[in-house]
Structure 1
């Protein structure tokens, strides 16, 4: 017998939401590894999003991630070692360095988008398309227009 909403302890809700998030991210990374990206980690995905398709300075990446410029620099260094990002002169300002995604970084982001669509389809098959749409709509209602920000990772460690 299923518990009513009033019988369920409040602490379970954030844990269930986190478990759903973790399940999707773990499945994403397992598939990315199978598709040629075995070294990319969840934090790298947030950093790739923070860099974006047009690039960003290390300061901007840090601000978007909610971490110091130094912490962002370490992540950028790792992404560069793995071939996902590179530092280059900013064509608009020769004094500034720009972090850009490499073709490998763009490939990882593109594959991630496709994999997320496939994972969503699996959830729809399990839950039903209506229930999944209701879940997404309900989460949008309670999270507001901002939704998930890429600085969420730093929030866990702050």
Structure 2
């Protein structure tokens, strides 16, 4: 029987373990679907780049890391074929990092896999409990949107 009043430190550890379980499962499935080299930081970076592209400085700010650290991640993503550098039509001095079709495919595949992972949790815990968990987290998490600055926050 679970402890009715567990120590406070268990809550963040359980939330993080749930997060890790989902992310590890995502990456295992992505590997079987043709994306074996992507890592969690790559997914956050692709989200930070977004559908309209972004400069290395913008990516660094969104990820909460330096421009240089963002540049290293972008270099790796470019080597893997997930992003490309292009001239910024609004500013000829600046390079824009854009998603390639492979990068878009990885994001689309990720969304599908997350839906499947959520369905597994529903099968294990029941739809009402998963819905209650999500609703409860929405009540205590700031409504500022979903942060992608996890790499910088952990760094």
The interval holding the TM-score normalised by the smaller chain is over 0.9
Q: Which residue of 1 aligns with 2:67?
A: 69
Instruction: Structure 2: state its 5+ residue gaps.
Output: none
Q: Which runs of 4+ in 1 moved over 3 A?
A: none
Residue 84 (structure 2) aligned to one of 75, 83, 86: 86
Q: CA deviation at 1:95?
A: 1.4
Q: Which residue of 2 aligns with 1:139?
A: 137
Counterpart Cα distance in 2 of 1:60 and 1:108: 21
Q: Which residue of 2 aligns with 1:10?
A: 8
Counterpart Cα distance in 2 of 1:2 and 1:16: 13
Q: CA deviation at 1:154?
A: 1.1
Residue 130 (structure 1) aligned to one of 124, 128, 131: 128
CA contact (8 A) 1:44 1:79 kept: yes
Q: Which residue of 2 aligns with 1:152?
A: 150
Q: Give aligned pairs, total.
A: 155
CA contact (8 A) 2:65 2:151 kept: no
Q: CA deviation at 1:146?
A: 2.2
**Residue 155 of structure 1 aligns to a residue in which SS?**
helix
Q: TM-score, normalised by structure 1?
A: 0.95
Instruction: Structure 1: state its 5+ residue gaps.
Output: none
Residue 30 (structure 2) aligned to one of 24, 29, 32: 32
Q: CA deviation at 1:93?
A: 1.6
Q: CA deviation at 1:98?
A: 0.1
Q: TM-score, normalised by structure 2?
A: 0.97
Cα deviations across residues 36-86 of structure 1 (Å, max 9, x unaligned)?
000000000000000011100000000000111111000000000000001
C-alpha change, 1:71 and 1:25, in structure 2 (3 Å) is same
